[in-house]
Amino acid sequence: MPFVLLLFSILLFAAEPIKPIPQKVDYDKQKAALGKILFFDPILSKDRSVACVSCHDFNHGGADPRPVSIGVGGKKGSVNSPTVYNAIFNFTQFWNGRAKDLNEQLEGPLHSPVEMAMSKEEIVNRLNNSEFYKKLFKKIYKKDQIEYNMVKDAIVEFEKALITPNAKFDRFLRGEIELSLDERKGYVLFKRLGCITCHNGINIGGNSFQKFGSVIPLKKAPKDDRYQLTKNPADKYVYRVPTLRNITLTAPYFHDGSIKSLKKAIDVMAYHNLGFHLNPKEQELILAFLRTLTGEKPQIVKNDAQ
């Protein structure tokens, strides 16, 4: 790339409210490989019927195509399963941000009665009864007995590897390619209308708490919002802004998985969070921009048929 162009793209990039996903993150390869086996193994659920991957499908953008997930014993959860892709870049975990990081997040699904419903002791006992896992853990953690923290540690290392770099938009930010005219117009509109005030940063979301219905309130009751944690009335309908990365892959949308079409989701957002409806052309342009946010499937799960 000519020097002037490179300099220009670096300056442009520094000023943009959206940052590209790094091409690599540091993680321990051996632990991640073990974490991957655990992520796919129903041994971590009470009736051995669900694994992490049952609700975080790598062929569905790391999310669940069902509006709400089904856990052990066929029990239904209350909110839509978000993507595990790029979760490492979110400033807190869960729709209402109740876990501070991926390690703390794991306390949720493992013990939730409607997800995997296991106690720490059951997890450790089961794994210690498996020669297969004992050998694997020993190789990495150098201990004869598997401990609960090692299980979480390995899964977190795997989750770190779940990044989706090189989306068309990221390549544009790095000055490697151009967007089409519609994609560019869509991005300009996304900024001009104000979507960018909440959806920005590396995950185009994932870095602030905001109200769903900040301009025109929603009629239906919220589920598991921040109010459930804080009991502060101002936190009703407040959620961590979700990422828009790989958004075309992760339908249905919103915390309750109530909307199947992305176009409809964009319009719901415009109406409730900006105060107006978009015309069909504007919807098309924003959609064109959102389509540029699909990155590469993470290397660590790339060749899995699953």
Contact 181, 65 (CB under 8 A): no
* 239 makes contact with ligand HEC (CB under 6 A): yes
- Of 31, 36, 56, 245, the residue at the interface with ligand HEC (CB under 6 A) is 56
Gap between the terminal Cα atoms of the chain = 40
Q: Which residue type sits at 12?
A: L
Site string for ligand HEC, 143-162 (x = CB under 6 A): ------------x-------
Least separation, in Å, of the C-beta of 148 and ligand HEC? Answer: 12
Structure tokens at 136: 């694997």
Least separation, in Å, of the C-beta of 129 and ligand HEC? Answer: 19
Nearer to ligand HEC by Cβ, of 93 and 164: the residue is 93
Least separation, in Å, of the C-beta of 9 and ligand HEC? Answer: 25
Residues 204-233 interacting with ligand HEC (rule: CB under 6 A): 210, 212, 214, 224
How far is Cα 287 from Cα 51, in angstroms, rounded to an integer? 33
Note the Cα 122 to chain centre separation in Å: 28
Choices 5-13, 25-33, 47-55, 137-145 (CB under 6 A): range interacting with ligand HEC: 47-55
Residues 6+ apart with CB under 8 A from 144: 134, 138
* 292 makes contact with ligand HEC (CB under 6 A): no
Choices 14-22, 94-102, 164-172, 176-184 (CB under 6 A): range interacting with ligand HEC: 94-102
* 270 makes contact with ligand HEC (CB under 6 A): yes
Nearer to ligand HEC by Cβ, of 106 and 167: the residue is 106
Least separation, in Å, of the C-beta of 15 and ligand HEC? Answer: 20
How far is Cα 294 from Cα 283, in angstroms, rounded to an integer? 18
Residues 6+ apart with CB under 8 A from 158: 31, 32, 33, 34, 35, 36, 38, 39, 300
Whether the link from the prior residue into 222 is cis, omega within 30° of 0, is no
How far is Cα 161 from Cα 24, in angstroms, rounded to an integer? 8
CB atoms within 10 A of CB 219: 6
Residue whose C-alpha is closest to residue 44's, from 107, 131, 99: 107
Residues that bind ligand HEC (CB under 6 A): 39, 44, 50, 52, 54-56, 69, 71, 77, 79, 81-82, 84, 87, 90, 93-95, 102, 105-106, 109-110, 115-116, 155, 193-195, 197-199, 210, 212, 214, 224, 239, 241-242, 244, 247, 250, 253-255, 265-266, 269-270, 273-274, 286
